């Protein structure tokens, strides 16, 4: 069972690469959401944190909707060849989580490079850089808040995943045969 789930998850990775423009656009969007959530967790009050979480939920819901809209023919084709709804769900959930995890890892990578550049230019990794805003430096140095923001962004995926699952169930195998 685990081996089949892992195989489907790797297929979701390959499926995500089939639409590189949408894939990279949402990675950048999730990168901004991760930054926003981390910054507001670090500096904001309760209302700002709520707004950050709501922004993550909105982005995840839009991505789940767009993903199932553009993949409708592929989902119908998979149903035609015998894939079950649960396997297709794993495929779509894998793609949604893949985008959010890659955006977080890219965010961490950018932070490492900015800190390294600060150390190279000034000899102190915590010194302010003239080209990096102070708000971004606060976020890049807040190691504890990064983990919390990652959990918040991943949990914000739940409404998008639920919407995608609902829309997957609505796709009929006959839609694979329709002409666009």
State the pLDDT confidence band at 6, using cuts at 50, 70 and 90: confident
State the pLDDT confidence band at 131, using cuts at 50, 70 and 90: low
Q: 100 to each of 59, 67, 141, 171, how far by Cα in Å?
A: 11, 14, 21, 25
The per-residue pLDDT for 130 is 57
Burial of 170 (0-12, 13-18, 19+ CB in 10 A): exposed
CB contact at 8 A, 172 and 68: no
Q: Is 70 a residue whose pLDDT tops 80?
A: yes
Does 75 or 124 have the greater pLDDT score? Answer: 75
Rounded-to-integer distance, Cα 42 and Cα 24, Å: 27
Rounded-to-integer distance, Cα 64 and Cα 96, Å: 7
The pLDDT mean for the chain works out to 79
The per-residue pLDDT for 68 is 84
Q: What is the value of pTM for the model shown?
A: 0.79
Rounded-to-integer distance, Cα 22 and Cα 14, Å: 14
């Amino acid at each position: 069972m685990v081996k089949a789930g892992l195989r489907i998850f790797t297929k979701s990775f390959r499926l995500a690469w089939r639409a590189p423009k949408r894939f990279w656009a949402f990675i950048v969007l999730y990168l901004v959401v991760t930054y926003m959530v981390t910054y507001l967790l670090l500096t904001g009050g309760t209302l700002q944190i709520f707004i950050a979480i709501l922004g993550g939920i909105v982005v995840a819901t839009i991505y789940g909707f767009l993903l199932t809209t553009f993949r409708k023919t592929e989902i119908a084709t998979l149903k035609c060849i015998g894939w079950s709804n649960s396997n297709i769900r794993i495929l779509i959930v894998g793609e949604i989580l893949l985008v959010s995890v890659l955006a977080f890892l890219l965010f961490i990578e950018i932070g490492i490079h900015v800190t390294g550049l600060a150390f190279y230019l000034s000899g102190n990794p915590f010194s302010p850089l003239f080209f990096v805003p102070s708000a971004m430096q606060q976020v890049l140095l807040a190691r504890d808040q990064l983990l919390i923001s990652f959990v918040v962004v991943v949990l914000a995926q739940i409404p998008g995943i639920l919407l995608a699952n609902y829309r997957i169930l609505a796709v009929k195998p006959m839609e694979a045969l329709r002409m666009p």
